[in-house]
Amino acid sequence: MGSEVRKPSTDNITVDDELRKLQSEYTALHEEASQLVAERVQLESSIMKLKKKAIRLESEVALLKSPPMIIGHIQDVLDEERAIVRSSNGTIFQVSLNPRLIREKIGPGARVALNQDSLAVVEVLTDAWDPIVSGAEVSGKPDITYSEIGGLDEEIEQIREAVEWPLEKPEVFRNIGIVPPKGVLMVGPPGCGKTMLAKAVAHHTDATFIRMVGSELAQKYIGEGGRMVRELFSLAKEKAPSIIFLDEIDAIGAKRLDGATSGDREVQRTLMQLLAELDGFDNLDDVKIIAATNRPDILDDALLRPGRFDRIIEIPLPNDEARKNILNIHLGRLKTSKFSISSLVDKTAGFSGAELKAVCIEAGMYAIRQNRKSIQLKDVQLSIKKVSEKRNKNLGLDAVAHLYS
């Protein structure tokens, strides 16, 4: 008898398939649950970010809706609750003090924010220089040296005595008993080297060089010009040793007139503040003031009295020898063929130092246009002609403007 082959039970196969199916479904559900949990975490994180953004936006909206503050400076503190404040437009108020303010920070000179409606002091602000004043500081040492200034040997010696020596050797003046000049005023036509001289002094003294143009101090709002003058001198004291160079000082230093407009009166207030700063310096050993103008005839006499600008240095148009020196300096830096500079001196009569520099640069451009590797005499002659034509045109326009002024 042959043996019988047992067939697997249909019931067993059905159960195994069902188990595998259930296990597969469980795995799929588990993965789906894990995915949902991850999505939930991600959504909760997004909700938190959106809530933070909403809070920030609400804060910004509230800030935009809040009334603007008035900036002022405390003149005097009367008691725990009241103070005298000068606002940015020059008006003086008696105001109340917020009790939450730190009393140690409240004192004369403190910069504060005032509520526009009640004028109460609501915040004490950190001291900050006006952007125009802070931007006047020249970063790094000026790279101009005395050797780069031609034809002004006598003027260089004068400004060294008045500015460089007191900064470098103050003890010499103390030993002799001489009080060095507080300020130096340079007068002369535009382009004759006034700014270069000031930069050269700063270079040789390692002093901080602060350059301010007079027109930048002529502000239209009451008290703004005077405030900028105060900040300018405060910055100079903080950065000492320093040199303040006031270019075009005639913009704020013109003679005071009786029938002045409101704008003129503000300029006069700025001048008065400048005079007060010059007179109020306790120690000028490490701060020097150099001013420059091409209109000395319109300057107020108060600026020129002894104790303010004690030295007046005239920077004239270069003479024949000076023009030769200036051309030698500028052409010496360029690649030139051999030619005599003496032949160019007469052709540049009346040129300023800046115009002579322009002649040399333009001569280099002529050589570049001709694809040459060096400057020839004809290039300089052509550039002299071009600069001379431009100069005569400008002089003609100035004459026409003068007729209608």
Q: How sure is the predictor about 157, in pLDDT bands with cuts at 50, 70 and 90? A: very high
Give the residue with greater pLDDT, 179 vs 369.
369
Span of 125-129, 232-236, 246-250, 371-375 with lowest mean pLDDT: 125-129
Cα distances from 132 to residues 73, 181, 267, in angstroms, run 19, 27, 17
Instruction: Determine whether domain 320-404 maps to CATH 1.10.1060.10.
Output: no
How high does pLDDT run on average in the chain? 83
Rounded Cα–Cα distance for residues 236 and 278 (Å): 12
Residue 59's pLDDT is 75
Looking at residue 319, what is its pLDDT?
A: 92
Which helix (H) or strand (E) element contains residue 138? strand 137-138
**Domain residue limits, the chain:** 70-124, 132-314, 320-404
Can you state the angle between helices 262-280 and 224-238, rounded to 10 degrees?
Answer: 20
Question: Residues 32-41: pLDDT tens digits?
Answer: 888 888 888 8
Amino acid at 211: R
DSSP secondary structure, 253-311, as one string: HBPP-TT--HHHHHHHHHHHHHHHHHHH-S--SSEEEEEEES-GGGB-HHHHSTTTEEE
Tokens of 152: 């002004």
Whole-Å CA distances, 157 to 132, 287, 318, 379? 32, 19, 16, 35
8 A C-beta contact, residue 201 and residue 163 = yes
- 304 versus 315: which is more confidently predicted? 315
Please tell me the predicted confidence (pLDDT) of residue 1.
Answer: 46
Q: State yes or no: pLDDT of 405 exceeds 50.
A: no
Q: Which of 311-325, 340-354, 361-375, 382-396 shows the lowest mean pLDDT across its residues?
A: 382-396
Work out the burial of residue 78: count CB atoms within 10 Å of its CB; fewer than 13 is exposed, 13-18 middle, 19 or more buried. exposed
Tell me what pLDDT residue 396 has.
55
Q: How confident is the model over 225-254, as pLDDT tens digits?
A: 888 888 888 888 888 888 999 999 998 888
Q: Report the distance separating Cα 184 and Cα 163, nearest Å.
A: 8
Task: Indicate the CATH number for domain 132-314.
Answer: 3.40.50.300
Band of residue 398 on the pLDDT scale cut at 50, 70, 90: low
CATH of domain 70-124: 2.40.50.140
Q: What is the mean pLDDT of residues 268-284?
A: 77
Q: β-strand 82-87 against 287-293: which pairing, if any? A: unpaired
- Three-state DSSP state, 331: helix
CA dihedral 169, 172, 173, 174 (to 10 degrees): 110
The rounded percent of the chain whose pLDDT value lies above 70 is 86
pTM over 0.85: no
Following CA atoms 110, 114, 119, 121 in sequence, which dihedral angle do they give, to the nearest 10 degrees?
Answer: -50
Average pLDDT score over residue span 168-174: 86
**Among the listed residues 188, 235, 193, the one whose alpha carbon sits nearest the alpha carbon of residue 212:** 235
DSSP letters spanning 232-262: HHHHHHHT-SEEEEEETTHHHHBPP-TT--H
Least reliable range by pLDDT among 48-52, 68-72, 104-108: 68-72
Biggest alpha carbon distance in the chain?
147
End-to-end CA distance of the chain: 143
What would the DSSP string read from start to end of 61-115? HHHHHSPPPEEEEEEEE-SSSEEEEEETTS-EEEEEB-TTS-GGG-STT-EEEE-
Q: What is the DSSP letter of 146?
A: G
Tell me which of 219-228, 264-273, 300-309, 362-371 is least confident: 219-228
Report the candidate in 264, 302, 123, 295 with the shortest Cα–Cα distance to residue 194.
Answer: 295
**For residue 116, what pLDDT is reported?**
78
Q: Does residue 93 have a pLDDT over 70? A: yes
- Residue position matching structure tokens 């002091």: 121
Strands ordered across the beta sheet of 111-114 = 92-96, 82-87, 70-77, 111-114, 121-124
Q: Give pLDDT, residue 26.
A: 85
Check pLDDT > 60 for residue 400.
Answer: no
Supply the pLDDT for residue 291.
94
Is the pLDDT at 2 greater than 80? The verdict is: no
Between residues 331 and 117, the one the model is more confident about? 331
pLDDT reported for residue 111: 81
| pLDDT value at 221 more than 90 | no
Among positive and negative, which fits the CA dihedral 342, 348, 352, 353?
negative
Q: Mean pLDDT, to the nearest integer, of 354-370?
A: 93
Residue 324 pLDDT = 93
292 pairs with which residues across the strands? Answer: 186
